[in-house]
């Protein structure tokens, strides 16, 4: 697992900037007005980005020249800003300042800048951008810098819990790939539920939330944990009163939600907005796809000509070529397997975010005495017993353990689970069957999932009102 680990900096829980993607901060600027001569030739998956026409408005400046000898073991290059879209820009989650409490003057100056209140255009980082048609929720709850920042503060603020000990980040921490490396979420007074913390990124491409989809939207989901007795153990009334009593918060809510001020709904809207800009960064796999598709569209001499004819496209290709060296031979074989009928992972982990957003029973936990009913608790249909929402596998190497009950510790274990055909039970998905995989096949699948690691923008965890 090179890529994501090399670049993830350590995190200062008391509030220093979290440089999960240190290099991403040093942004060279190049413009890619993506002019493909013919449509993408790859039809086997929706995760390539070459079928999508992305227009970037940033003014063109020459690419910084980065000297790096050949070889995958080198430090990653700074990611060109254009590859991050608008939502992957580090500035969105950088915070007003690092120290807490923020002063009223700092908050006032921030809110007085009209730029913070403009609606952001939704452009996702390369890889995810292919899923832009599935973007959820921003029509009803538009993205603005001010709202993202307010949501960021609330996300890291333990004062939302009954005894000031637990924040959202305590179970969905950037340090742990926005999940938690514990089997179950640990709430106030050390209480534990029976489900693993799912990841809180790429939620912008996801409709119903929770393992069983019981929350219709991210807004609805976000306020659940506050009043959940074993998570943050508070009441909505008390949480609203706490936030309202903090002048820095009150001022932000009044400016951002002028008709509503601080309510549980506006707290939910701000949290959801912050989560919608937690997006996974481009991965070795995504760069590999750019290279593959460019080479499928242009002959070698044509590619050389691009340097003159389409410098932006050429620069993007060159960058991708360099980064795709992190895609090992094993990962390339794993990629073929993942999309193949033989392993059939894309029967469910499909699309830009590698999930069909549907519910399936793999038999996980079905050998327990009282198995978790999963989706059935929502639909009341027997056929949904033990079915859970397909999670994304982007950045999945960062958020062990796995499955709704956190019962599988490694990606190797997960692949073994699929290889043996899950756990037999009356509701096992028809798409889960014993697989005929060699040991090398299994390693390759794991290597492919590691190649889906691109990290995230750095996020400020301090700077609270």
Question: For residue 234, what are the CA distances in angstroms to 57, 170, 221?
Answer: 45, 15, 15
Q: Is the dihedral of CA 361, 365, 366, 371 positive or negative?
A: negative
**Residue among 197 and 451 whose Cβ is closer to ligand HEC:** 197
Q: Please tell me the distance from the alpha carbon of residue 12 to that of residue 461, in angstroms, as a whole number.
A: 8
Looking up tokens 């691109």 gives 454
Q: Using CB under 6 A, which of 145, 152, 203, 292 touches ligand HEC?
A: 203
Taking the complex as a whole, the smallest distance from the CB of residue 71 to ligand HEC amounts, in Å, to: 28
User: Taking CB under 6 A as the rule, does residue 234 contact ligand HEC?
Assistant: no
User: Taking CB under 6 A as the rule, does residue 453 contact ligand HEC?
Assistant: no
User: Taking CB under 6 A as the rule, does residue 362 contact ligand HEC?
Assistant: yes
Stretch that binds ligand HEC, among 49-57, 63-71, 102-110, 394-402 (CB under 6 A): 394-402
CB-based contact 275:200 (threshold 8 Å): yes
Stretch that binds ligand HEC, among 19-27, 85-93, 243-251, 341-349 (CB under 6 A): 341-349
User: Residue 116 is inside which H or E element, if any?
Assistant: none
User: Taking CB under 6 A as the rule, does residue 243 contact ligand HEC?
Assistant: no
Q: Which two tokens stand for residue 117?
A: 């209140």
User: Taking CB under 6 A as the rule, does residue 172 contact ligand HEC?
Assistant: yes
User: Taking CB under 6 A as the rule, does residue 345 contact ligand HEC?
Assistant: yes
Taking the complex as a whole, the smallest distance from the CB of residue 331 to ligand HEC amounts, in Å, to: 13
Q: Using CB under 6 A, which of 86, 116, 183, 209 touches ligand HEC?
A: 209
**Residue among 49 and 441 whose Cβ is closer to ligand HEC:** 441
Q: Residue 417's beta-bridge partner residues? A: none
CB-based contact 198:179 (threshold 8 Å): yes
Reduce the DSSP state of residue 341 to 3 states and report it. coil
**Residue among 54 and 400 whose Cβ is closer to ligand HEC:** 400
**Residue among 376 and 396 whose Cβ is closer to ligand HEC:** 396
- Nearest CA to 198 among 401, 382, 41? 401
**Those residues with Cβ within 8 angstroms of residue 341's Cβ, 6 or more apart along the chain or in another chain:** none
Stretch that binds ligand HEC, among 18-26, 75-83, 105-113, 221-229 (CB under 6 A): 221-229
Q: Which two tokens stand for residue 373?
A: 């009913």
**Those residues with Cβ within 8 angstroms of residue 366's Cβ, 6 or more apart along the chain or in another chain:** 386, 423, 425
Task: Pick out residues in 271-310 that bind ligand HEC (CB under 6 A).
Answer: 271, 275
**Residue among 257 and 338 whose Cβ is closer to ligand HEC:** 338
Q: Please tell me the distance from the alpha carbon of residue 142 to that of residue 273, in angstroms, as a whole number.
A: 8
The single-letter DSSP state of residue 40 is: -
CB-based contact 397:453 (threshold 8 Å): yes
Site residues (CB under 6 A) for ligand HEC?
166, 168, 170-172, 185-187, 193, 195, 197-198, 200, 203, 209-212, 221-222, 225-226, 231-232, 271, 275, 343-345, 347-349, 360, 362, 364, 388, 390-391, 393, 396, 399, 402-404, 411, 414-415, 418, 429, 431-432, 445, 449
């Amino acid at each position: 697992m090179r890529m994501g680990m090399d670049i993830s900096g350590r995190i200062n829980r008391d509030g220093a900037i979290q440089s999960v993607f240190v290099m991403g901060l040093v942004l060279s600027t190049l413009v890619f007005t993506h002019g493909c001569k013919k449509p993408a030739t790859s039809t086997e998956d929706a995760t390539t980005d070459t079928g999508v026409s992305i227009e970037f408005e940033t003014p063109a400046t020459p690419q910084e020249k980065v000297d790096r000898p050949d070889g995958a073991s080198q430090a990653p290059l700074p990611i060109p800003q254009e590859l991050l879209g608008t939502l992957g820009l580090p500035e969105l989650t950088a915070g007003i300042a690092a120290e807490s409490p923020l002063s009223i003057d700092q908050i006032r100056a921030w809110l007085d800048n009209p730029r913070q209140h403009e609606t952001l255009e939704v452009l996702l980082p390369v890889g995810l951008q292919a899923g832009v048609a599935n973007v959820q929720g921003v029509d009803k709850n538009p993205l603005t810098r001010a709202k993202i920042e307010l949501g960021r503060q609330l996300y890291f603020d333990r004062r939302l819990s009954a005894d000031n000990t637990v924040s959202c980040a305590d179970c969905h921490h950037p340090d742990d790939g926005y999940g938690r490396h514990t089997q179950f979420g640990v709430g106030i007074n050390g209480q534990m539920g029976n489900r693993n913390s799912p990841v809180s990124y790429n939620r912008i491409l996801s409709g119903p939330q929770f393992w069983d989809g019981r929350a219709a939207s991210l807004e609805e989901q976000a306020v659940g944990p506050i009043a959940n007795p074993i998570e943050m153990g508070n009441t909505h009334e008390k949480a609203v009163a706490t936030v309202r009593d903090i002048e820095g918060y009150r001022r932000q809510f009044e400016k951002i939600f002028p008709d509503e001020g601080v309510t549980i709904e506006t707290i939910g809207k701000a949290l959801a907005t912050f989560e919608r800009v937690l997006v996974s960064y481009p991965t070795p796999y995504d760069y590999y796809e750019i290279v593959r598709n460019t080479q499928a569209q242009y002959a070698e001499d044509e590619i050389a000509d691009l340097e003159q004819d389409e410098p932006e496209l050429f620069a993007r290709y060159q960058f991708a070529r360099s980064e795709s060296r992190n895609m090992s031979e094993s990962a390339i074989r794993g990629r073929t397997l993942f999309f193949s009928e033989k392993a059939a992972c894309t029967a469910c982990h499909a699309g830009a975010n590698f999930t069909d957003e549907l519910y399936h029973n793999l038999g996980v936990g079905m050998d327990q005495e009282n198995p978790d009913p999963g989706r059935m608790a929502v639909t009341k249909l027997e056929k949904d017993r033990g079915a859970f929402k397909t999670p994304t596998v982007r950045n999945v190497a960062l958020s062990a353990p796995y499955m709704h009950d956190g019962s599988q510790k490694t990606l190797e274990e997960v692949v073994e689970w699929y290889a043996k055909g899950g756990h037999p039970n009356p509701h096992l998905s028809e798409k889960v069957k014993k697989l005929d995989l060699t040991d090398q096949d299994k390693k390759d699948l794991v290597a492919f999932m590691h190649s889906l690691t691109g990290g995230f923008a750095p996020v400020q965890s301090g700077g609270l009102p």
